Amino acid sequence: MNRDVYVIGVGMHRFSKDFIPKRDLYFTAGMDALKDAGVKFRDVGALYNGYIGGGMTEGIGFAKDLGLTGVPVTHVENASATGSTAFREAVWAVSGGQTDVAMALGYDDMRMMGNPIARPPSGKKRLPSMENIMLPAGFFAMWAQRRMHENGTTVETFAKVAAKNWNHGRHNPMAQRRADHVVTAEEVLAADMVAYPHTAMMACASGAGAACAIVATGEWAKKHANGRPMIKVLASQAQSEHYSDGHIFMGAVVGPSYSTEITGKLAYEEAGVGPKDLSFVHVHDAFPIEELMYYELLGICGPGEGDRLINDGDTAIGGRIPFSPDGGLIARGHPGGPTGLAQVWDATRQLRGEQGKFQVEGARTGLVHMMGAGSICVVHILQRA
C-alpha cells in the first residue's frame, strides 16, 4: 500500500430474520460508523456501497439520507465477498491518495435475491438457466462429503464447529441467532437435515442487515482516536480463481478451495506476519466444512489436522486461535452485502478490546476472510497499532 490506512469507525444494524426496510438498515449502519469514527459524512471523500440483491444504483438513493455532499459513490457486487470488496476499495482509495477518508457500507436481505432466468429457443416460456442448477448448500455439502471420505471427518466434528459459533454469537448484540442457552453438538445434529451431512443449525443464518467501516490516513486516525487504540490495515488481498484439475466452471458456488491458501499467503506476505501471529480469524463459515478447511488452508494447522483443532477447543474463545468470535455466518448471520463488513466491525472492536463477553483477550492481530460464490477470495489483516 502506498499510504498507511487505519479503520477509524465501524457501525452495524443488527442482522435479523425480520424484514427491515433497506433504507433503515443503510442509515443505521452508516450513522453508527460515523459516530464511532467521530467524523461527519461531509468528511468522507469516497463511498463504496455493497449489495447483491438490490436494483440499479439503489445504494446511492439510500446515501442521500446521510447527506448530499457530492461524494463519489461506487457500487460493488462480489457475492458473499461484496462487503469485503467494498472495504478493499475504500482501503485502496485512501492508500492510493484519492481521499483521506473513505467509507464502505454493505446492506442486504439474503431472502430477497433473484435468480438467473434463461429464455428457451422457442421464446415461449421463461426457464431456469442451465447455469442455475445447484444451491450453495449442495456445493458445500459435497465438499463435506468428500472430506469425510478422504480424511475420516465425522458429522460430530461438523456439529462441534457449528455449536462453537452458535455459542460465540450468544453475547453479540448484532447477531441474528442469539441462543438463550449453551448450544451442544447433539442439539445441532438433531436439527432438520438441510443437505447431508449439514443440518439447519449448521447452515448460515439468512436474513437482513447492514454494516459499515470508515477508513482513513494515519493523520485522521490519530486525530479521531479519542483515547482508543488505532487499528491499522496491514494487508488487503483478493484473488479470483486459478485453474486446477477437477475445476468446476458451472453453478451458483464453484471454485477451488485453495483460493484461500493463495490469498492468505499473499496477505501474510504483505502484512509481514504469519498464522502464529494471529489473535483471531473470521472466515466465510456458511457451513462448518468451510471453517474446518480454512484452518488448514490459512496455515493455522497442517493438512488434515483441522479436526483436532476443533475437537481440542483451540478455535473457541479462550482457545489458542478463536475463529468467528462474533458467531460467524452461522450465528451472527449472512445477509450478503454486509457480511464481510460485519467481520471488520467485530475485528476492529476486538482489537480495541470493546467486545465484552465475546472479547478475545489480548487481541492484537486479526485476519478476516471471505469467499464470493467460491470464485473470489478477499483477505484483510488488521492490527492494533
Partner 1 sequence: MPKMAPLEEGYMVIPEKPGEPCQLLGSYSKAAKKSFFPIRKLCPITSEPVETVKLSPEGVLYSWSFIQMPKMGSRQKVEGGGYGVGQIDLPEGVRIQAPIDGKMGDWKIGMKMRLAPNPVVTDEDGTQYCGFKFIPVKEN
The strand ranges marked E within 39-190 are: 46-50, 73-76, 101-109, 117-118, 127-128
Of 72 and 128, CB closest to partner 1: 128
Contact range with partner 1 by CB under 8 A, out of 29-37, 134-142, 211-219, 318-326: 134-142
Residue 194 binding partner 1, by CB under 8 A: yes
Q: Which of 142, 225, 373, 385 binds partner 1 (CB under 8 A)?
A: 142
Mark 110-129 with x for binding to partner 1 (rule: CB under 8 A) and - for no binding. Answer: -----x--x-xxx-xx-xxx
CB of 197 to partner 1, least distance (A): 8
Size of the site for partner 1 (CB under 8 A): 41
Q: Which of 240, 249, 302, 312 binds partner 1 (CB under 8 A)?
A: 249
Per DSSP, helices labelled H in 96-178 are 136-151, 155-169
**Whole-angstrom Cα Rg for the chain:** 20
Residue 138 binding partner 1, by CB under 8 A: yes
The dihedrals phi and psi of 117, each to the nearest 5 degrees, come to -120, 140
DSSP reduced 3-state for 83: helix
Question: Which 215-244 residues touch partner 1, going by CB under 8 A?
Answer: 243
Q: Which of 55, 70, 149, 180 binds partner 1 (CB under 8 A)?
A: 149
Q: Hey, what's the cell of 150?
A: 478422504
Residue 195 binding partner 1, by CB under 8 A: yes
The dihedrals phi and psi of 19, each to the nearest 5 degrees, come to -90, 110
CB of 141 to partner 1, least distance (A): 3
Residue 369 identity? H
The single-letter DSSP state of residue 300 is: S
Q: Hey, what's the cell of 212?
A: 459499515
Contact 340, 379 (CB under 8 A): no
Q: Which of 137, 175, 205, 309 binds partner 1 (CB under 8 A)?
A: 137
Q: Hey, what's the cell of 22?
A: 433497506
Binding site for partner 1 (CB under 8 A): 115, 118, 120-122, 124-125, 127-130, 132-135, 137-139, 141-146, 149, 192-197, 243, 245-252, 254
